[in-house]
Amino acid sequence: MSEKKYILAHDMGTSSDKAVLVDFAGNIAATSSAPYPTFYPNPAWVEQDPQDYWEAVALTSRTIVRENGIDPSEIKGIVFSTQAQGIIPVDEEGNVLYNNITWVDGRAQKQADSIMKKLGGKKIFTLAAGTPIMGKDCIPKIVWLKEERPDIYKKTHLILDVNGYLKYKCTGRMVTELSGASSYGLDLKKKQWLGVMKYTGVDMEKLPPLVCSTDIVGGLTEQAASEMGLIPGIPVFGGCDDVQAAVVGSGMCDDGDLHIYLGTSAWVAAVSRTADKFHHGAAAIQSADRDMNLIAGITESAGANIQWLCDEFFSKEKEEYGDGIFDYMDRVIQTIPPGSDHLVCTPWMLGERCPVSSTTTRATLFNINMVHTREHLMRAVYEGIGYNLRWILENYKADYGFSCDNFRIIGGGALDDGWMQIIADITGKHFAVVKDPRNAGAVGAAVVALIGLGELPGFSAAKDFVQIERRYKPNPENKKIYDELFVDYKNIYHSLEAAYRTANGSRFTGEA
């Protein structure tokens, strides 16, 4: 009997770790998940304790081995796909000095404005960089740490992201993988830390050495193996951020390929060999493939909005239906006409990055009247995310020349048939949903490890690991109403941009 071989991939999301055991043929053999808390010390602050990440990794690893009868010697590689843009200061011994300042944290707008002023002003900075820097970006948050917590900053040996912290816990080696580094500032041509970062106030010596996603960072240490229920010496790979892992897991790895992820957050990502500019909140970042860039447009809150809707407006039904609540909601939205009788709900619960870049913008319910019910609100929330995706796709075609046709959708939201049809109707696009879309990121991370082991020839081989579950096409009868409401949707932002800033500008910096 042939030896079983697995990759243990950890998909570290915004709220939980999902450990996924993937065999060398790309099949998922087992999964285990564990949540971790999020802390909100101030209105715009969003933190997590890195120790909680590690405890989740250790727990899910032990659980997978114990509950599925896995011989630890069958695990041939460990790899992480993680939330991006973490700021985790550690001392020389690897002790965490401050909670992770997460990717949705917007505390550093004052520092962002100061950096742009120092480098010629917002207009000149935007012309040079393609997008203004904002309070959610990594560099301003490092500068915030330097200015607001100098006691912590002075003790900081290196600043790690989530992936880097977990690799350190596994191997004892502190590094940053290229895709993670590009969320800070990476020269996409030279594959080095961006030299201009030193002019922002960031001390470059606090940034770790760089590795590729497919590199073996080290072997699992005795201590880590003991905590994870594994054996020492298992290769631990560079891994990548979640957006990049999802690209691989969608199978859309070639030049011009595009996919959408729908989970707690959402994004539109297009692979390009040459595109390296920032436009309309979309960031040009490093792909998991060293030879490719990725144009990534992040929508801060997507599935989280639907979860909020479920918790706050359908709590009774949630008790009744349990895990079937989203199937129930899927049926309900189909009883409401397309366009929700002209009710529009923008999804900007946590501010927004793409298609608009703002820390102060928040969700708005527009055009409500006596006709509308909570079911109208439900459909409007689903549609609002669809409008946001359409706006991003519209910008991608104008800014980069991407065709934006025949893409794929992954993530838990892709399981919602009604929502998928809404997105097809709003965008007017044909697309496919992959099999087991919730685990696409973990499968993509496993592919990275398999390439690193020499088991796969390269990233194009990811397409052999991905199967298509369903295909969608737009209903032309709904085009007129969605075209009209899409104009309204964009007007809501442009009309209220200043009002959002007035309402939230001070309180989201913790000053009021």
Phi, psi of 20 (to 5 degrees): -130, 125
* Whole-number pLDDT of residue 3: 81
- Bridge partners (DSSP) listed for residue 160: 88
3-state secondary structure of 101: strand
* Whole-number pLDDT of residue 281: 87
Both tokens assigned to 168:
């350190």
Is beta strand 407-410 parallel, antiparallel or unpaired with respect to 431-434? parallel
* Whole-number pLDDT of residue 342: 98
Burial of 370 (0-12, 13-18, 19+ CB in 10 A): exposed
310, 332 contact by CB (below 8 A): no
| DSSP single-letter state for residue 2 | P
Residue ranges of the chain with pLDDT lower than 50? 510-512
Give the closest residue to 222 by CA, choosing from 171, 183, 259: 171
Spell out where 198-327 has E strands.
210-211, 216-219, 235-237, 240-241, 258-262, 266-272, 283-286, 293-299
* Whole-number pLDDT of residue 132: 74
* Whole-number pLDDT of residue 128: 58
Quote the crossing angle between the two packed helices 325-333 and 417-427, to the nearest 10°.
Answer: 40
Query: Rounded CA gap, 316 and 319, in Å?
Result: 5
Return the number of other C-beta atoms located less than 10 Å from residue 277's C-beta.
Answer: 14
* Whole-number pLDDT of residue 512: 37
